[in-house]
């Protein structure tokens, strides 16, 4: 409804990026609004007290303490949202080994420092609020009476050290675990349902983080805590008279442990809720093109806009959505032929193909084959005329197969065993100048030892999910493109798509061949079974599935017209495999 | 909810065929019932262009031999598929390589030990988990049954928890529906959306056979895996070659079947290249959401002697459906009412948590509309839920007295025909607006009341038999011309071996004035029951007496098999092809030839 209203007041601008920036601001404001109930949720969780019975729990819903904590959690959540807005990532550079993680932290020390510092300050702020509301160990002890010299409370000091650890750990975790990476949803759901579905994972993640941090802190403080306490007391003793009575360790105090757990869980939950909220709201599908009077051109501008990965992703997400669900706009794109720059279909398809072609080139570089194989089709003699694809082979409409015609698929050529990759890809982020020299020298030295390999080499999982930086964009581009091609069968009045089908198929087949070569290379390098290919090269296998799915869909949609397409021999031959269900 | 006045079979002068006959097909709006192979009607039917399909028989029990995996470490892999084949060609090859493999096995042992040490942390964690599970099981076995049931019913991985889960599911789905599912050797059948292949799940052996109807052959391979237990549903993925999804208690087993490269060359040019009768290779991917845990987790070493026993978990699947473009796989679960939407290519799962979280709201059936814009799910708490697939909003109808047992989409995606458990009415959920609108209404389209009908046999003798009962299942053909109904065995039921067929006119649902012709009675289908079966009678223990009595009482009775599953082939040029799996293991194909009639109209 909102978008419908917006469309009624559509703007003349076709600048997708400009509109997208406005949407981004709106979404941030919406996130700030949604943060309020989430902060209230965190406040209720913090104020739950099972000791006083169920009525006290009801009272916790409206108690001043809950409302006060809500305000504090809201402020903390807004700061979290602001940090995410500044530092979110769209393209992926996953790397699980320790050195690149460290490298990632040091690459932008200013932002790393700012984030870590912000979360540490937030942790202090939450600790102060927590202490104000729920109490906690006081700063000074008076072992010699209230008129005697004070002594620094070790529990107090440990609390501050602990929350510092929590803040620093959370800030580092955001960078090292790539938590600022946006994950776009597979399907569109109501925002409320999505938030509701994410709540359990917020609780579990917060608890896991707190328990692991607490365990590490406890161990660290066990060894170094006493020394630290003595040092601080020494400094304080030089300033004013302090007592030196023996005190117990805060690490073995149940009340201290409970306080730390309660306090850190509340703050981690607040941050986690804000983190999930940001991800949900920012990655929701947009309808920016509908805001413009010339929506097709606006969308095209978005597809071309490569200055901001987020905005480009939004544009492809919109294209994917409208090709799947909006028959009206799909038809509009296919019949939009009266433009100086070319038909809308040709411009959109060339943008999508560009994504695929770029990915193909990148993959070729990545595989670093010494002798690139020629595709099977090109090995055929050029004397072959344009071969029509036989559609009689597959019994889509004739289960009895009485009209079966001879298949034109030739004998598949044996797959040439590719050579292994010469040098493994170690650094996901490219280094320059002196940094590159130092890092490369260090890398070469370290790689000589097993320990160095352990530190530097990517884990199988990291490698499997980081083959492509823009994996999601490619999936949207391929699926949108093929949906437009398929819908052209009934919706393309002027036949603008028909002339480009061969080009589209050629691009997809080349990419498919490259992906298959890449997966076979992994196969030969690791082990000879499909399971390893799947796990070691997950993105490659997934992309192969996406392509196969799209090509099969094309085949089944155009089944009756395959012969009439008059494709070049290379594509005809490869498409024949799909027509025969032998791909 | 409104209702139309229904025309009954008797009013239209349609009577069931005699018990000694079998239905071979439909032509010119009439069903051809034959008494035996020499029936002159068969010749007449074939001369008129009728097609007689062979029956397929699936035995009750099976003895399968397994073949060694081609790679030594394949068994150790969590997702590795174990394809048990009938032929033993690979076994011979394996034994020939035994000597050569001696040194390799020593080396591989050393390597595996080194790998164990390298992953010591993980392995120790697994060992601790195992010890924990074993100790739990030990404590559970020491305690008295009722006490252990109370204590351990919520501890996952224990037998008590499994028992509690099973009880919950039985409560939710009801004993009758559970028994209905296990009737006969065939648990479910799935047609390939583009090829003439049918996958048949065997109930007792938890394996899948594939039959190539185009070449009239069984595929040599049988799909079986240690994790594929308790098969509940099955579907081929559209637009993805030969990919079969099998719903079972561990989740969804996604089989990727790679046709033999020689299939295209060796295939008869008059026939389509298919899987053929040769060996194909297949590998399986497990899709579980939430991921398996505890005792159901994948063991690090899977071997023939280490087949885990799986229990019902949150990821146990009760129903699956693919979107028509093959991109989405939607699964319903046995233990809760949530749905999981899988992007099959990317392997990502998105839960849809709308229905309840307990087994009382378990998903019974789900089906996506032919245009991929809507999804219908039915739940054990009596809900019928209509989803639109753009934003995944939904609307619920829950004012039914019993659960909605079966439904079928009309091919134009404008109506869903369904029936309720124990009821005699056929309803239609009519969608009045275009997607993604959820503006829909439920209408009673017709009712099949059990009644006595007159049957005339070949001698001209008439007798009355009781027909119908509570509606058990229904299916609509892909062209939206025929609706087939089967009946359940209850107090009102009569001859439940009959299938009633209606002529469908979905457009009538949208005409004003309460048109009663949305479903018009067309005829009955009777199963392949001419095989005379010796009557099984309890005899005294004396063997001589037993033989005498057996000779004396060698009377025969006509077997009346009950349909355990039926559905239509997705593509059939001449009309529609009904596939019926009977409880005795026989699968029959009954064509309805009406395409030429439609084209003339």
Question: Could you report the per-residue pLDDT of A373-418, keeping only the tens digit for each?
Answer: 444 444 443 334 445 555 444 444 433 333 333 333 334 344 343 3
Dihedral pair phi/psi, residue B183, rounded to 5°: -75, 120
CA angle in degrees (0–180, nearest 5) for B291-B292-B295: 160
Residues 6+ apart with CB under 8 A from A154: A225, A229, A247, A248, A249, A250
Nearest to A549 among B264, B345, B436 (CB): B345
Contacts with A535 from chain B: Cβ below 8 Å? 79
Query: Quick one: A582 exposed, middle or buried, by C-beta within 10 A (0-12, 13-18, 19+)?
Result: buried
Contacts with A322 from chain B: Cβ below 8 Å? none
CA B116/CA B37 separation, integer angstroms: 66
Contacts with A548 from chain B: Cβ below 8 Å? 240-241
CA B350/CA B207 separation, integer angstroms: 28
Nearest to B345 among A185, A193, A545 (CB): A545
Contacts with B242 from chain A: Cβ below 8 Å? 581
Res. A532: pLDDT tops 60: no
Nearest to B326 among A193, A398, A553 (CB): A553
The per-residue pLDDT of chain B, averaged, comes to 77
Is A383 near chain B, with CB under 8 Å?
no
First to last CA, chain A: 45
Find the residue in A nearest to B69 (Cα).
A529
* Alpha helices (runs of H) in B228-305, residue ranges in sequence order: 263-266
Contacts with A475 from chain B: Cβ below 8 Å? 345-346
Q: Would you state the pLDDT for residue B352?
A: 92
* Alpha helices (runs of H) in A240-284, residue ranges in sequence order: 254-283
Instruction: Report residue A251 as tokens.
Output: 């690490």
DSSP characters over B383-450:
-EEEEETTT--EEEE---SS-EEEEEE-TTSSEEEEEETT--EEEEEEE-S-TT---EEEEEEEE---
Q: Give the B window 349-388 contacts with A, CB below 8 Å.
A: 350-354, 373
CA B206/CA A247 separation, integer angstroms: 67
Partnered with residue B577 across adjacent β-strands are B591
Q: Would you state the pLDDT for residue B557?
A: 40
- CA-derived radius of gyration, chain A: 30
Q: Would you state the pLDDT for residue A55?
A: 80
Query: Contact A582/B573, CB-based, under 8 Å?
Result: no
> Rounded mean pLDDT of B104-112?
69
Query: Contact A556/B261, CB-based, under 8 Å?
Result: no
Q: How far is B433 from chain A (nearest CA, A)?
A: 15
Q: Are B469 and B488 in contact (CB under 8 A)?
A: yes
Nearest to B195 among A394, A407, A479 (CB): A394
Res. B476: pLDDT tops 90: yes
Hey, what's the torsion of the CAs at B380, B382, B388, B394, to 10 degrees?
A: -110
Alpha carbon separation from B313 to A328, B160, B310, B338 (Å, rounded): 44, 13, 9, 13
Residue whose entry in the numeric block shows the structure tokens 């690459």:
A107
CA B34/CA B18 separation, integer angstroms: 10
Q: Give the A window 175-214 contacts with B, CB below 8 Å.
A: 185-190, 193, 196-197
Q: What pLDDT band is residue B89 in, cutting at 50, 70 and 90?
A: very low
Query: Contact B273/A582, CB-based, under 8 Å?
Result: yes
List pLDDT tens digits, range B358-386.
888 899 999 999 999 999 999 999 999 99
Res. A298: pLDDT tops 80: yes
CA B554/CA B552 separation, integer angstroms: 6
Query: With pLDDT > 90 as the criterion, what percentage of chain B qualifies?
Result: 27
Res. A575: pLDDT tops 80: yes
Query: Contact A400/B214, CB-based, under 8 Å?
Result: yes
Q: How far is A553 from chain B (nearest CA, A)?
A: 5
Q: Are B593 and B201 in contact (CB under 8 A)?
A: no
Q: H helices then E strands: how many in chain B?
A: 10, 37
> Rounded mean pLDDT of B255-269?
68
Query: Contact A401/B272, CB-based, under 8 Å?
Result: yes
Could you report the predicted ipTM of this complex, rounded to two decimals? Answer: 0.81
Q: Would you state the pLDDT for residue A478?
A: 96
Q: Give the A window 456-495 contacts with B, CB below 8 Å.
A: 475, 479
Give pTM, 2 decimals. 0.80
Q: Are B12 and B521 in contact (CB under 8 A)?
A: yes
CA angle in degrees (0–180, nearest 5) for B120-B123-B126: 150
Q: Give the B window 423-442 contacts with A, CB below 8 Å.
A: 435-436
Q: Give the A window 300-339 contacts with B, CB below 8 Å.
A: 325
Res. A499: pLDDT tops 60: yes
Peptide bond into B290 cis (omega under 30): yes
Alpha carbon separation from A238 to A138, A226, A231, A235, A247 (Å, rounded): 21, 18, 11, 5, 20
CA A141/CA A149 separation, integer angstroms: 9
The per-residue b/e assignment along A281-317, b for 16 or more CB within 10 angstroms, e otherwise, is bbbbbbbbbbbbebbbbbbbbbbbbeeebbbbbbbbb
The per-residue pLDDT of chain A, averaged, comes to 81
Res. A196: pLDDT tops 80: yes
> Rounded mean pLDDT of B436-447?
90
List pLDDT tens digits, range A259-274.
999 999 999 999 999 9
Tell me which of A436 and A4 has the higher pLDDT.
A436
Dihedral pair phi/psi, residue A400, rounded to 5°: -85, -15
Nearest to A401 among B214, B259, B350 (CB): B214
CB atoms within 10 A of CB B530: 17
Instruction: Report residue A21 as tokens.
Output: 């920036």
Q: Would you state the pLDDT for residue B36?
A: 72
Instruction: Report residue B557 as tokens.
Output: 């009775």
Query: Can you give the three-state secondary structure of A434-463, one letter per residue?
Result: HHHHHHHHHHHHHCCCHHHHHHHCCCHHHH
Q: Are A100 and A426 in contact (CB under 8 A)?
A: yes
Contacts with A398 from chain B: Cβ below 8 Å? 571, 573
What's the sign of the alpha-carbon dihedral A247, A253, A256, A260? Answer: positive
Contacts with A479 from chain B: Cβ below 8 Å? 327
Is A395 near chain B, with CB under 8 Å?
yes
Alpha carbon separation from B236 to A559, B326, B343, B579 (Å, rounded): 19, 9, 15, 16
> Rounded mean pLDDT of B118-133?
79
Q: How far is A395 from chain B (nearest CA, A)?
A: 6
Query: Contact A193/B354, CB-based, under 8 Å?
Result: yes
The per-residue b/e assignment along A8-26, b for 16 or more CB within 10 angstroms, e otherwise, is eeeeeebebbbbbeebbee
Q: How far is CA A441 from the centre of its chain?
A: 32
Contacts with B273 from chain A: Cβ below 8 Å? 393, 407, 580-582
Q: How far is B142 from chain A (nearest CA, A)?
A: 34
Q: Are B29 and B14 in contact (CB under 8 A)?
A: no
Q: How far is A560 from chain B (nearest CA, A)?
A: 13
Residue B174 Rama label (left phi>0; alpha psi -120 to 50; beta)? left
Contacts with B71 from chain A: Cβ below 8 Å? 527-529
Q: How far is A195 from chain B (nearest CA, A)?
A: 11
CB pairs under 8 A between A and B: 146
CA A272/CA A209 separation, integer angstroms: 10
> Rounded mean pLDDT of A266-288?
95
Contacts with B477 from chain A: Cβ below 8 Å? none
The helix/strand/coil state of B522 is strand
Q: Are B250 and B229 in contact (CB under 8 A)?
A: yes
Res. B93: pLDDT tops 60: no
Res. B71: pLDDT tops 80: no
Is A376 near chain B, with CB under 8 Å?
no
Nearest to A531 among B77, B265, B343 (CB): B77
Ranges B28-42, B101-115, B190-204, B472-486: which has the least confidence: B101-115
CA A48/CA A77 separation, integer angstroms: 20
CA B351/CA A194 separation, integer angstroms: 9
List pLDDT tens digits, range B517-562.
788 899 999 887 645 444 444 444 444 454 455 444 443 344 567 8
Q: What pLDDT band is residue A278 in, cutting at 50, 70 and 90?
A: very high
> Quick one: DSSP state of residue B490?
S
The helix/strand/coil state of A524 is helix
Contacts with A519 from chain B: Cβ below 8 Å? none
CA B23/CA B31 separation, integer angstroms: 7
Query: Contact A549/B393, CB-based, under 8 Å?
Result: no
Find the residue in A nearest to B478 (Cα).
A397
The helix/strand/coil state of A183 is coil
What's the sign of the alpha-carbon dihedral A567, A570, A576, A577? Answer: negative
DSSP characters over B251-266:
EEEEEEEE--TTHHHH
Q: How far is A550 from chain B (nearest CA, A)?
A: 8
Is A143 near chain B, with CB under 8 Å?
no
Is B569 near chain A, with CB under 8 Å?
yes
Find the residue in B nearest to A395 (Cα).
B195
CA B144/CA A46 separation, integer angstroms: 41
Query: With pLDDT > 70 as the criterion, what percentage of chain A qualifies?
Result: 79
Alpha carbon separation from B242 to B258, B274, B289, B325, B371 (Å, rounded): 7, 10, 23, 14, 22
CA B388/CA B369 separation, integer angstroms: 10
CA nearest neighbour of A127 among A254, A264, A255: A264
> Rounded mean pLDDT of A189-218?
93
Q: Would you state the pLDDT for residue A98?
A: 64
Query: Contact B214/A197, CB-based, under 8 Å?
Result: no
DSSP characters over A26-82:
HHHHHHHHHHHHHHHHHHHHHH--GGGHHHHHHHHHH-HHHHHHHHHHHHHHHHHHH
């Amino acid at each position: 409804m909102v978008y419908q209203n917006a469309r009624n007041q559509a703007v003349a601008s076709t600048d997708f990026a400009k509109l997208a920036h406005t949407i981004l601001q709106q979404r941030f404001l919406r996130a700030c609004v949604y943060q309020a109930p989430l902060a209230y949720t965190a406040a209720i969780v913090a104020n739950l007290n099972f000791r006083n019975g169920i009525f006290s729990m009801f009272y916790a819903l409206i108690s001043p303490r809950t409302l006060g904590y809500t305000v504090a959690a809201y402020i903390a959540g807004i700061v979290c949202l602001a940090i995410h807005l500044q530092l979110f990532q769209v393209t992926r550079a996953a790397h699980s080994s320790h050195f690149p993680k460290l490298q990632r932290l040091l690459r932008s020390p200013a932002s790393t420092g700012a984030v870590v510092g912000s979360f540490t300050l937030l942790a202090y702020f939450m600790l102060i609020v927590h202490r104000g509301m729920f109490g906690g160990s006081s700063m000074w002890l008076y072992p010699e009476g209230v008129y005697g010299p004070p002594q620094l409370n070790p529990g107090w000091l440990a609390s501050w050290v602990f929350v510092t650890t929590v803040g620093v750990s959370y800030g580092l975790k955001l960078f090292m675990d790539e938590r600022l990476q946006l994950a776009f949803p597979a399907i569109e759901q109501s925002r409320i349902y999505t938030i509701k579905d994410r709540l359990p994972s917020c609780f579990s993640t917060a608890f896991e983080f707190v328990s692991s941090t607490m365990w590490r802190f406890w161990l660290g403080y066990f060894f170094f805590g006493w020394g630290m306490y003595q040092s601080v007391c020494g400094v304080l003793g030089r300033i004013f008279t302090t007592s030196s009575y023996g005190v117990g360790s805060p690490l073995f105090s149940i009340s201290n442990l409970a306080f730390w757990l309660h306090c850190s869980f509340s703050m981690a939950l607040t941050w986690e809720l804000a983190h999930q909220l940001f991800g949900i709201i920012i990655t929701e599908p947009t309808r920016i093109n509908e805001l413009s009077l010339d929506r097709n051109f606006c969308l095209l501008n978005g597809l071309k806009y490569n200055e901001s990965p987020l905005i480009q992703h939004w544009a492809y997400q919109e294209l994917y959505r409208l090709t799947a669900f909006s028959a009206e706009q799909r038809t509009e794109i296919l019949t939009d032929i009266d433009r100086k720059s070319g038909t809308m279909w040709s411009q959109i398809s060339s943008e999508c193909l560009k994504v695929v072609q770029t990915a193909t080139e990148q993959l070729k570089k990545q595989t670093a084959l010494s002798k690139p194989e020629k595709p099977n089709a090109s090995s055929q003699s050029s004397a072959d005329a344009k071969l029509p694809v036989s559609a009689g082979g597959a019994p889509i409409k004739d289960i009895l197969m009485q009209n079966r015609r001879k298949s034109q698929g030739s004998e598949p050529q044996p797959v040439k065993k590719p050579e292994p990759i010469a040098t493994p890809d170690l650094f996901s982020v490219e280094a320059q100048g002196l940094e590159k020299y130092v890092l490369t020298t260090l890398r070469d030295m370290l790689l000589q030892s097993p320990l160095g390999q352990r530190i530097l080499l990517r884990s199988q999982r990291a490698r499997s999910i980081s083959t492509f930086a823009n994996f999601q964009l490619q999936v949207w581009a391929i699926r949108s493109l093929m949906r437009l091609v398929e819908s052209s069968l009934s919706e393309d009045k002027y036949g603008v798509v028909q002339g480009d089908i061969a080009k589209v198929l050629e691009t997809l087949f080349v990419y498919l061949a490259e992906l298959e070569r890449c997966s076979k290379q992994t196969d030969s390098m690791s082990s000879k079974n499909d399971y390893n290919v799947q796990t070691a090269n997950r993105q490659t296998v997934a992309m192969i599935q996406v392509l196969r799915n799209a090509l099969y869909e094309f085949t089944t949609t155009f089944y009756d017209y395959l012969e009439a397409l008059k494709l070049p021999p290379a594509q005809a031959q490869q498409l024949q495999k799909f027509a025969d269900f032998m791909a | 909810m409104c209702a139309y006045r229904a025309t009954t079979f008797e009013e239209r002068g349609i009577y069931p065929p005699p018990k000694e006959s079998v239905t071979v097909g439909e032509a010119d709006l009439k069903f051809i019932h034959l008494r035996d192979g020499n029936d002159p009607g068969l010749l007449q039917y074939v001369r008129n262009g009728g097609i007689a399909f062979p029956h397929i028989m699936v035995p009750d029990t099976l003895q399968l031999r397994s073949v060694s995996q081609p790679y030594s470490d394949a068994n150790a892999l969590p997702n590795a598929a174990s394809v048990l084949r009938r032929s033993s060609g690979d076994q011979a090859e394996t034994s020939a390589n035994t000597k050569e493999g001696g040194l390799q096995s020593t080396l591989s042992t050393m390597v595996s030990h080194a790998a164990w040490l390298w992953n010591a942390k993980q392995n120790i964690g697994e060992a601790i988990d195992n010890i924990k599970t074993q100790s739990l099981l030990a404590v559970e076995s020491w305690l008295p049954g009722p006490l252990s049931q109370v204590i351990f019913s919520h501890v996952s991985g224990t037998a008590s928890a499994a028992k509690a889960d099973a009880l919950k599911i039985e409560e939710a789905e009801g004993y009758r529906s559970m028994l209905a599912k296990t009737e006969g050797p065939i648990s479910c059948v799935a047609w390939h959306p583009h090829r003439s292949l049918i996958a048949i799940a065997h109930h007792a052996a938890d394996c899948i056979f594939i039959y190539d109807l185009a070449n009239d052959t069984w595929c040599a391979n049988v799909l079986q895996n240690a994790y594929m237990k308790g098969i509940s549903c099955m579907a081929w993925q559209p637009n993805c070659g030969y990919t079969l999804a099998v719903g079972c208690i561990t989740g969804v087993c996604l089989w990727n079947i790679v046709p033999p490269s020689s299939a295209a060359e060796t295939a008869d040019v008059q026939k389509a290249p298919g899987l053929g009768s040769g060996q194909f290779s297949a590998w399986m991917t497990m899709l579980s959401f939430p991921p398996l845990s505890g005792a159901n987790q994948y063991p690090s070493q899977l071997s023939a002697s280490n087949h885990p026993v799986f229990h019902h978990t949150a990821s146990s699947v009760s129903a699956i459906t693919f979107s028509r473009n093959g991109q989405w796989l939607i699964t319903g679960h046995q233990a809760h009412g949530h749905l999981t939407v899988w992007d099959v290519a990317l392997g990502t799962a998105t839960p849809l948590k709308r229905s309840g979280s307990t087994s009382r709201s378990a998903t019974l059936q789900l089906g996506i509309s032919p245009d991929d814009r809507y999804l219908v799910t039915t739940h054990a708490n009596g809900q019928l839920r209509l989803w639109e697939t753009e934003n995944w909003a939904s609307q619920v109808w829950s004012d039914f007295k019993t659960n909605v047992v079966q439904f079928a989409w009309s091919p134009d995606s404008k109506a869903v025909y369904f029936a309720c458990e124990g009821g005699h009415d056929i309803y239609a959920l009519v969608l009045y607006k275009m997607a993604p609108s959820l503006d829909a209404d439920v209408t009673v389209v017709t009712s099949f009341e059990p009644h006595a009908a007159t049957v005339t046999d070949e001698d001209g003798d008439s007798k009355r038999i009781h027909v119908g009962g509570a509606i058990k299942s229904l299916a609509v053909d892909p062209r939206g011309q025929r609706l087939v109904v089967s009946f359940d065995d209850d107090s009102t039921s009569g001859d439940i071996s009959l299938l009633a067929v209606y002529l469908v006119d979905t457009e009538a649902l949208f005409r004003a004035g309460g048109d009663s012709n949305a479903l018009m009675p067309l005829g009955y289908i009777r199963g392949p029951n001419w095989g005379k079966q010796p009557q099984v009678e309890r005899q005294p223990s004396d063997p001589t007496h037993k033989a005498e009595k057996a000779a004396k009482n060698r009377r025969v009775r006509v077997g009346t098999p009950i349909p355990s599953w039926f559905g239509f082939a997705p593509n059939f040029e001449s009309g529609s092809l009904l596939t019926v799996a009977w409880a005795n293991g026989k699968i029959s194909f009954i064509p309805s030839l009406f395409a030429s009639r439609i084209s003339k109209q």
